[in-house]
Copies of this chain bind each other. A is one copy, B any other.
Amino acid sequence: MSQEGVGVDLETSLGYLLKEASSALRVAMEEVLRPLGMSVTHYSCLELLAQRPGLSNSELARGAFVTRQTMNVLLQALERDGYVTRPAEAAVGKVLPARLTPRGRRSLEKASAAVRSVEARMLTGLTETEQSGAFRILQSMIHSLRGDDEGA
């Protein structure tokens, strides 16, 4: 506890621990996705589209926590390789709703199973109560960090 105005104590910092946990999760996911030839962002995009078909490029970007420029590059590659389809022209506005192709769906199946097993491993040793507690606390952190409390 020798952090008297000195700095952030890494041993007790929840921020540091959060980063460490996130890093460990990323490494574990990369480990199981690599054999499938898939990156984490790659997988995130497919999973998002499976659960919310018709998401636009910008919406996918927000869901995967990258910029829309980054997602656009990925989406073009996925489209080129036949995992995803987008209409050539927007029905309304500029928004191009993306959808998984059968090939994309097949590809996602294995990846999704692999990722679920990683998440399950992450939660071993934690009770239901602890898990829901963690859920609530993480949501609170996100809320506070984004400053959503301001006007509300």
Contact B119 A51 (CB under 8 A): no
Is A15 on the interface with B (CB-CB < 8 A)?
Answer: yes
Interface flags for A26-40 (1: CB within 8 Å of B; 0: not) read 111000000000000
Contacts of A94 in B (CB 8 A): none
Q: Within the assembled complex, what's the spacing in Å between the Cα atoms of A26 and B51?
A: 26
In the assembly, what is the distance between CA of A3 and CA of B111, in Å? 13
Counted per complex, copies of this chain come to 2
The residue from B8, B25, B116 contacting A18, defined by CB atoms under 8 A apart? B25
Bin the interface of chain A by size: 35 or more
Closest chain-B Cβ to A6's Cβ sits at a distance in Å of 7
CA distance A124 to B144 in the complex (A): 7
Are A142 and B21 within 8 A (Cβ)? yes
Q: Is B138 a contact partner of A121 (Cβ separation < 8 A)?
A: no
Q: Is A22 on the interface with B (CB-CB < 8 A)?
A: yes
B138 lies within 8 A of A122 (CB): no
Chain B residues within 8 Å of A142, by CB: 17, 20-21, 24
Which residues of chain B are within 8 angstroms of A145 by Cβ–Cβ distance? 21, 24-25, 27-28, 118, 121-122
Sample of 4 further A-B pairs with CB below 8 A, known A14-B131, A15-B119 = A8-B112, A14-B135, A28-B146, A126-B137
